């Protein structure tokens, strides 16, 4: 198994007014390619901070973050943007689609920033939309789509650049349980197709889809259990 993510002694400190808040107090974690992993923890545990750092939206105060051999913790904003573009696919609880753009255009967005030509973009994006089963809705705007459909668009957008990992932050949090199950089935399929998936959730039912569950508590890893072997 190939190492994808190597976090060593990651510390993140926030300055809120005059108070220093330690969100992460030395996290070590090793994630391999094609892993299906859940990061669990109550709110305030630091799991969102950890997600931001893994997703290259933020850099640690100290510690080493290696993503596919690249040292992320030393990167500047532009380099981070590039890594996010090429290697990370985000799926958010609130979908985070552009409201004025069609589903297709939303899926194309990462490709725009990787400098792919308009014609090529369309083909790739249509392909990704097909994977999540939304071909007949791709010219609709988010406001014309149901919650589940919106999340499918978001998943297609996360997939479109062939990322090294898919990072899903409470992906079922805004969905009813039936739709949630459908969305989780998509993640299961993606994992089976060879993608690395990291789920951030506080729901046991969601977390149980993963092969490995990491519990975060007070900025530490409290538990790291391999629940299934693949």
Partner 1 sequence: MNFDEGLKLAWQTAISNKLRTFLTTLGIVIGVMSVIGMMSIINALERHMINALSAVGGDIFWVQKYPAVQMGHLPREIRMRKDLKFKHAEAIRKRATYIEAVSGESATYGKQIKYRDEATNPNILVYGGDEHWAEVNGRYISEGRFFTSEEIHRKEYVIILGNDIVEKLFPFSYPIDEYIKINGIRFKVIGLIEPQGKLLGGSRDNLVTIPYTTFTKAFGQKRSIAIAVKARRGQMAEAMDQITGILRVARKVPPGQPNDFEVITQDSIMDTLKQFTGFIFIAAVVICGISLLVGGIGIMNIMLVAVTERTREIGIRKAVGAKKRHILNQFLTESIGICLFGGLIGVILGVVIGVLIAAALKLPPTIPLWSVFLGVGFSLMIGLIFGVYPAMKAARLNPIEALRYE
CB of 130 to partner 1, least distance (A): 20
What's the CA gap between 64 and 45, in Å, rounded?
20
Q: Does 15 bind partner 1 (CB under 8 A)?
A: no
Tokens of 228: 């299934």
Backbone angles phi, psi at 42, to 5 degrees: -70, 165
Beta carbon nearer to partner 1, 96 or 174: 96
Angle between helices 103-113 and 77-87 (to 10 degrees): 130
Q: Does 68 bind partner 1 (CB under 8 A)?
A: no
Distances (CA, A) of 185 to 86, 182, 205: 24, 5, 12
Stretch that binds partner 1, among 28-36, 108-116, 135-143, 183-191 (CB under 8 A): 108-116
What's the CA gap between 42 and 212, in Å, rounded?
18
Q: Does 179 bind partner 1 (CB under 8 A)?
A: no
Binding partner 1 by CB under 8 A: which of 73, 84, 137, 215?
A: 84
The percent of the chain in helix, strand and coil, each rounded to the nearest 5, is 35, 30, 35
Backbone angles phi, psi at 80, to 5 degrees: -60, -40
Binding partner 1 by CB under 8 A: which of 85, 149, 151, 195?
A: 85
Q: Does 90 bind partner 1 (CB under 8 A)?
A: yes
Q: Does 103 bind partner 1 (CB under 8 A)?
A: no
Region of residue 133 (phi > 0: left; psi between -120 and 50: alpha; otherwise: beta)? left
Continuous H helices in 63-176: 77-87, 103-113, 118-131, 147-159
Binding partner 1 by CB under 8 A: which of 112, 193, 205, 222?
A: 112
Q: Does 34 bind partner 1 (CB under 8 A)?
A: no
Beta carbon nearer to partner 1, 100 or 120: 100
Q: Does 96 bind partner 1 (CB under 8 A)?
A: yes
Stretch that binds partner 1, among 51-59, 126-134, 137-145, 218-226 (CB under 8 A): 51-59
Stretch that binds partner 1, among 36-44, 83-91, 206-214, 216-224 (CB under 8 A): 83-91
Stretch that binds partner 1, among 81-89, 126-134, 138-146, 209-217 (CB under 8 A): 81-89
**Please, which residues have CB within 8 angstroms of residue 138's CB and are 6 or more apart in sequence?**
102, 103, 104, 107, 126, 129
| Interacting residues with partner 1 (CB under 8 A) | 52, 55, 57-58, 77-78, 81-82, 84-86, 90, 92, 96-98, 100, 109-110, 112-114, 118, 157, 161
């Amino acid at each position: 198994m190939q190492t994808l993510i190597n976090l060593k002694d990651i510390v993140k400190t926030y300055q809120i007014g005059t108070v220093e808040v330690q969100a992460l107090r030395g996290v070590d974690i090793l994630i391999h390619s094609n892993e299906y992993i859940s990061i669990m923890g109550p709110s305030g545990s630091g799991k969102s901070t950890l997600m931001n750092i893994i997703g290259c939206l933020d850099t640690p105060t100290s510690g080493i973050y290696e993503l596919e051999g690249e040292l992320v913790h030393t990167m500047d904003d532009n380099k981070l943007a590039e890594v996010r573009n090429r290697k990370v696919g985000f799926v958010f609880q609130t979908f985070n689609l552009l409201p004025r753009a069609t589903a297709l255009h939303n899926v194309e967005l990462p490709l725009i920033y990787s400098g792919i030509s308009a014609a090529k973009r369309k083909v790739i994006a249509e392909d990704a939309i097909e994977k999540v089963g939304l071909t007949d809705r791709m010219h609709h705007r988010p406001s014309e789509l149901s919650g589940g459909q919106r999340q499918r668009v978001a998943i297609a957008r996360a997939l479109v650049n062939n990322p090294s990992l898919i990072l899903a932050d409470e992906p079922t949090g805004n969905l009813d349980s039936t739709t949630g199950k459908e969305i989780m089935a998509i993640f299961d399929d993606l994992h089976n197709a060879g993608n690395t998936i990291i789920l951030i959730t506080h729901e046991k039912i969601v977390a149980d889809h993963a092969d490995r569950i990491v519990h975060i508590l007070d900025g530490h890893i409290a538990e790291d259990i391999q629940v299934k072997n693949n």
